[in-house]
Amino acid sequence: MRKTPKDLNDLGDKAFYGINQEKNIELAYTYYKEAADMNNPVGLYNLGLYYYVKEDYKKAFKLFKKATDLSYSPAYMKLFDMYFYGNGVHKSYKKAFKYVKAAADTHDVEVYHKLARMYEEGIGVKSNLEKAFEYYNLSASNNQVNGMYGLALLYFKQKNKDKEHETAYYWLDKAAHMHHVPSIKKMIEMYDQPHEYLSKKSSLYLDEMKFHYQEILAKTKDLDALILVAKAYEEGRTYLQVNYQKAFEYYRILHELEVVEGYLGLGKAYLYGLGTSKDYDMAKDYLEIAASRNNGQAKSLLGDIYRNGWGVKADYQLAKEHYIGAAEENQVDALVHLSLMHYRKQIHHANPLQAFTYIERACKQESPKAYFWLGLYYELGIGVDQDYNQSIEAYKKAIQLGNNASRYKLAYLLYRNLKKQSISKRKTDQIFEEIKILLLTYIETVDSDNRLKAMYLLADIFKDPIYSKSSPKISRYYYELAAENGYSKAMNRLYEIYIEEDIQTALAWLQKACDSGLDGEAYYIMSLIYEQGLHGMTKDHVKAEKFLAMSAKLNNKLALEKITFEGESNGYSNT
């Protein structure tokens, strides 16, 4: 059965482009030649392409010209390319225009935008904006994204801004949603450096819309956009809620594209159960691949796996090795963990000087967590001379960078220093106000047991007579707030407050502190009550000894001193 020109061109295409078979342009030639011999325009064009690839431009030109005699638009456009770029012929914009116009006259909607651009910029023809608008409109109206893009840019150049810019925005947005990359990038640019059309929009709206188009760009598999969008969903933004499932999907796409951030993202997802179930083995596998590609964060997370024993036997030395690899990339979490492993003596040859050195390196990267530990090291003299002023400055820097835990530490240090200073009443009150604001902010922003310590410290400062705004009522409020939330030290203070006015309430708070099993001070007070028969209680030396021993076991200083003193006294009396 004789093959039709379409059959021959299809067979030629498979060989020419290597579609489901090995590429073979010589075999393609035989099919194209047979179709061309039938005076088939597609065959003539394809045979012309064969010669074009072989750089026999003379034969290619003749074949393209024959195809144009049969009004075949792609042949016109190939002649356009040859004259526009000077391939095989002398460059001529005028002749290039002639052929693109001829292609457009065949009603080929895919070439309208190119003709429009020639008219717009006066390439090979006198500039004619009216014609440019006409052909851009024809292209855009036929759902051609390049036409939409060109039309939008041309509208943006017009004087009647409000109306024309609105039309421009419509076409640009439509092209962007059809995944036309230049249109998407133009929309991102418009929201990133707001175009006058958007001048009245809020910054939050601009950020939200910019991200909207970045996500569209990510769907074209643009690597930078994929990474940006994945991180945004993982971390959240002011304009975007955290969505671990979406982050996981974008990291999965990055992984399929063999991008290291994809391996890292999936490793984190499986490690912490973000958007998927926890799977330490999977996490370790992905992170090891990312680490092998020199990703510092992956190395640091492998350190976390071995330090915490997540799916493996805990091994501080192996954790240290991974952290050192990450530290070579200046990975801040690794630097902090190396510092803490030295500080906590979790590794061989732990050294406080090394602890301080690593935390200083982390601080150079403006890490809020690192500045918190730097403040603590200066406060306690870890690897450096003790320096409360340096400690205060470090805590302030940590707060500035967003570390809320430093608010309590700074408040505590300021209060302790204040008690040792001799300064004016005005300056004293200023420092008290600073402490109060630090503690109140800390209580509002931190969700941990340390909030109770902050409440307790607030109660202490309102009890302090050197504070001009001291108030027993406010002090009691914060002691009660801390005590009601289970802070035993506050319960002891309420015992002291109530003992003069309500013995039963006082003893109830003291008993509650003892019931916590964590408060040596409460046990010591209870031992004195039974020893001396205070508050109407019957003396009971057995109970007194029991509570004293429990207090000493919790390292209460007064209990330890009393036991030592009584032991020495008994020894003396027996001599």
* Contact in structure between 267 and 290 (CB atoms under 8 Å): yes
Nearest CA to 301 out of 273, 276, 256, 337 is that of 337
What is the tens place of the pLDDT at every residue in 523-555?
999 999 999 999 888 999 999 999 999 999 999
Q: Tell me: pLDDT of 198 over 90.
A: no
Q: Label residue 54 left, alpha or beta by phi (over 0 means left) and psi (-120 to 50 means alpha).
A: alpha
Q: Is the dihedral of CA 386, 392, 394, 398 positive or negative?
A: positive
In-domain check, residue 19: yes
In-domain check, residue 342: no
Q: Tell me: pLDDT of 567 over 70.
A: no
Which structure tokens are listed for 352? 């406080």
What is the tens place of the pLDDT at every residue in 472-514?
999 999 999 999 999 999 999 999 999 988 999 999 999 999 9
SS3 229: helix
Domain count of the chain? Answer: 1
In-domain check, residue 96: yes
In-domain check, residue 12: yes
In-domain check, residue 41: yes
Long-range contacts of 419-428 (CB under 8 A, 24+ apart): 425/468, 428/466, 428/467, 428/468
In-domain check, residue 75: yes
In-domain check, residue 72: yes
* Residue ranges making up the domain that contains 89: 1-107
> Is the model's pTM score more than 0.85?
no
pLDDT-based confidence at 568, cuts 50/70/90? low
* Contact in structure between 398 and 406 (CB atoms under 8 Å): yes
Q: Tell me: pLDDT of 428 over 60.
A: yes
Residue reference for tokens 């709206």: 205
In-domain check, residue 94: yes
Identify residue 249 by its one-letter amino acid code.
E
Residues 153 and 533: their CA atoms lie apart, in Å, by 92
What is the tens place of the pLDDT at every residue in 37-47?
999 999 999 99
SS3 240: strand
Residues 462 and 457: their CA atoms lie apart, in Å, by 9
SS3 237: strand
Q: Tell me: pLDDT of 575 over 60.
A: no
Mean pLDDT of the chain: 94
CATH assignment of the domain containing 14: 1.25.40.10
Residue reference for tokens 């009691």: 476
What is the tens place of the pLDDT at every residue in 51-89?
999 999 999 999 999 999 999 999 999 999 999 999 999
Share of the chain above pLDDT 90, in %: 89
Residue reference for tokens 């059965």: 1
